[in-house]
Structure 1
Amino acid sequence: MPPERRSLLRDLSHGHAAVSYLELFLDLVYVFAITQLSHFLLEHLTPLGALQAVILFLAVWWAWIYTTWATNWLNPERGPVRFLIGGVMIGSLMMSSALPHAFERDGGLPFALAYCGIQILRTGFTAWAMRRDDRVNSRNLARATVYFCLAAPCWIVGGLSPDPALRMALWVLALGIEFSGPAAGFWVPWVGRAQTGDWAISGGHMAERCALFIIIALGEGIVVTGSQFARVAPPDPATLAAFFTAFTGSFAVWWVYFDLGARRGAEHIEHHADPGRVARDAFTYWHIPIVAGIVVLAVIDEQTLVHPLAPSHPDFVLTLLGGSILFLGGTMVFKRITSGNPWFPSSHIYGLWMCAGVALWGWLAHPTHLALANAQTVVFVAVAVWEWRSFHGGWIDAVVKYGGPFGRWLKRRADHIRDARLAGRDRPSE
């Protein structure tokens, strides 16, 4: 039944909850957070720096995604909810401002306090707001608050520690506690655990919010491309080529995610019998590598624009490979979850193999940044075109028409794979 008139919750009786202007305003803070993350990684492009960047990224994502869950239920038109989101914005801005110094001697505590404040206060408020209209989810969020409270001492003690290794260890432990919560149903001794079927959400709202965060991450690459290109006046041919390569790569990445994945993901969660499970698996967990990969690729864009003709050393090659695998691998699993069948997209599987080939070439031949970035952009374009032609243009038919014996063999192979997939989809789950 719909919530009472004075309730702080949205009316989800009609199924869809529109994204509010306040949520879009909140996202502006996370635009800054993504910028801070990419700059941190660029300035700490070492194995240790990469691990630190992963810790910081996971904290930023966890703060944002839990706020997205909260705004799926809370009504942004109510005054108390608006003040809550305003508080989350202040905390997120403080957290993002402290991010570059989070692993310096005196910089950890401000980051930890801001993060813990966001998570505990927002989740506790949401549990309180749901106490009358949705007691089941109110108890679930109370359990989630317990997990954040258990992790908070690790964050704060780690922030106080002058030992960087101890700080990292404690923060990894804190993230482990928090990330285990949704997978464990926020199990608490003598209280029990939540069931994903209890998480009554607007699937369309969750899908739209995560798609908007992908736009935020892609926007960082666009800003980097434009700002670096603007600093070169007049641009030389190599910088001009790097500019077009960076934009083409970003456009292809957008295409790979949004052409099929975002739309099908939204349709899947909206019509699924257990949207809470899909929101947890496909959007809360498996969007992590997608967003992380896009952020890492923005670092590659900046390096390519600044030093287009520099030889590709191992750190550049590994960064490019890591970003590409994170994005393509995460998108591949996301599309598999939201497709309703157990098969991964062939275009993404072969795309990952091509990424490995590009990295091997870069490792052995040390081509320029521009040449290696061009090769990786070709991979993203190939994946986008492959998937586009598969679902919109019938590329198999074109190959059959012009490919001779190879085309006929490919047609038989495609029919065999299609029949196997249909048989697998029709087979009852065990």
Structure 2
Amino acid sequence: MTGARPSGLIRDPRSSSRSTLLELLLDVFYIATFAQLSMQLARDLSWRGLANTVILLLAAWWTWSVIAIATDFFDPRERVIQRVLATGMLGVGLMAAAIPSAFAEHGLLFAGAYVGIHLARGLMLVRALRGHFAQLRVKLFLFWFAFSGLLWLAGALTDPELRRALWAAALVIEYIVAALRFPTPGLGRVPLEQYDRLTPHFGERYQQIAILVIGDLVLASTLKLSILGFATARVVIFLAAIAAALLLWQIYVFRTELLVEKSVRRHPRRAVRLAPYVYVVLVAGVIATTAGVDLALAEPFGSTHSGLVALVVGGSFLFLLGRVIFEYELLDRLSRSRIGWLVLMIAVMPALKLLAPIFVVIVNAGILFGVTRTDAWRGRRDAAA
């Protein structure tokens, strides 16, 4: 590890785009987080339970996206950045453990870990960047996370209803001020040119987290099957879930290299500001589908309620929608075939309530297979043009 010289902290755009082993280790902690979130959603399908899961997901995702931006702007081989990553691991581990009871007795544990991640990162970087132009950027981040942190901690000390409102307000503030470049009285905003410092490493980090969340569908389905037993219907659902995971991967990687190239060369500013908001839609989609498969494995031939359909097919809908938005924003292309599949998903959802859960999972995998086939046709057509 090297020392924390302010000038050496800034990543060289010509450096390797590969993630460090410590960054990959951090991502492992998010596997536990995604698994906890999908199980939490499967346990409570009420509107209140959905709101709780969304709040926890947005909080967990924000820790990952802010750290990913930091390790793209700063050199993750530097000692202080490695401390930021290590602190993030500790905080995310505590957050993941607290998820099942975050709106009960462990609210302070979840909120304290979340606030601690952001404040520790900011304080370490402010100190390391003394006298450097990038210190202003960190101060702006730190100011707003300290402000929203008050809402997080206050919410942790109240009843669940008020906690939900305060935590939601904190997230609204954080996501909006980030989109506005952290405007701060007396300090201004993050300069636009700093969003142009995008490297291929940024695209690789987002690819990795997308693959990891798809892996949660595989992990959760495998564990559920091993617990419930290998009845024929459950094995069929399991195989359909694995197929869905592979198809989601194929949908995601279609033109991904082109997206990364365009992000770095043509639209770095747009990519770095858009990615956190679009990818959370992809992540939410896979978590929802995972929760739906969990419910289907529990009762393959039980009654199918609208919530299960919304999780299984609606989750795939969110994943595909996020991918369509990102491609449109960065490549200026709107896939008509994928739009058609999105419309079909919405159209078939009411009818799927008439089928048993096992068939809902199978139909979802069939739709995803159709998406990949039209993608393949588009690829051959574009190659011939």
Give the superposed CA RMSD. 2.3
SS of residue in 2 equivalent to 1:186: coil
Match of 2:9?
Answer: 9
Change (3 A) 1:394 1:287: same
Distance 1:6 1:156 in 2: 32
Match of 1:288?
Answer: 280
Q: 2:228 touches 2:298 (CA, 8 Å); kept in 1?
A: no
Q: Identify unmatched segments of 5+ residues in structure 2.
A: none
Distance 2:270 2:130 in 1: 22
Q: 2:126 touches 2:138 (CA, 8 Å); kept in 1?
A: yes
SS of residue in 1 equivalent to 2:99: helix
User: TM-score when scaled to structure 1?
Assistant: 0.84
Q: 1:197 touches 1:275 (CA, 8 Å); kept in 2?
A: no
Q: Deviations over 1:34-92 (max 9, x none)?
A: 11111111111111101110000000000011111111133333333323321221111
In the TM superposition, residue 238 of structure 1 has moved relative to its aligned partner by 1.7
Match of 2:146?
Answer: 149
Q: Deviations over 1:253-308 (max 9, x none)?
A: 11111122x22221111212x51331111x11111101110111111222222222
Q: Does 1:279 align with 2:279?
A: no
Q: 2:111 touches 2:153 (CA, 8 Å); kept in 1?
A: yes
Match of 1:394?
Answer: 381
SS of residue in 2 equivalent to 1:199: helix
Q: 1:203 touches 1:266 (CA, 8 Å); kept in 2?
A: no
Q: Does 1:314 align with 2:277?
A: no
Match of 1:116?
Answer: 115
Q: Deviations over 1:98-150 (max 9, x none)?
A: 1111101x2211111110010122133234434445x0x32122111111011
Distance 2:182 2:270 in 1: 13
The residue identity in structure 2 corresponding to 1:112 is A
In the TM superposition, residue 7 of structure 1 has moved relative to its aligned partner by 4.6
Match of 1:93?
Answer: 93
Match of 1:415?
Answer: none
Distance 2:107 2:72 in 1: 31
The residue identity in structure 2 corresponding to 1:201 is R
In the TM superposition, residue 12 of structure 1 has moved relative to its aligned partner by 1.2
Distance 2:280 2:240 in 1: 25
Q: 1:144 touches 1:181 (CA, 8 Å); kept in 2?
A: no
Change (3 A) 1:179 1:395: closer
Match of 1:349?
Answer: 339
Q: Does 1:374 align with 2:369?
A: no
Distance 1:16 1:268 in 2: 18
The residue identity in structure 1 corresponding to 2:158 is S
The residue identity in structure 1 corresponding to 2:44 is H
Distance 1:83 1:189 in 2: 29
Match of 1:60?
Answer: 60
Q: 2:6 touches 2:130 (CA, 8 Å); kept in 1?
A: no
Q: Does 1:140 align with 2:132?
A: no
Q: Deviations over 1:6-43 (max 9, x none)?
A: 75515414165431001001111111111111111111
Q: Does 1:334 align with 2:347?
A: no
Change (3 A) 1:183 1:311: same
Distance 2:330 2:126 in 1: 29
Q: 2:6 touches 2:128 (CA, 8 Å); kept in 1?
A: no
Match of 2:257?
Answer: 263
In the TM superposition, residue 351 of structure 1 has moved relative to its aligned partner by 1.1
SS of residue in 2 equivalent to 1:286: helix
In the TM superposition, residue 395 of structure 1 has moved relative to its aligned partner by 9.9
Match of 1:402?
Answer: none
- How many residue pairs end up in the alignment? 383
User: Percentage identity across aligned positions?
Assistant: 26
Distance 2:221 2:188 in 1: 50
Q: Identify unmatched segments of 5+ residues in structure 1.
A: 398-417, 419-430
Larger radius of gyration: 1
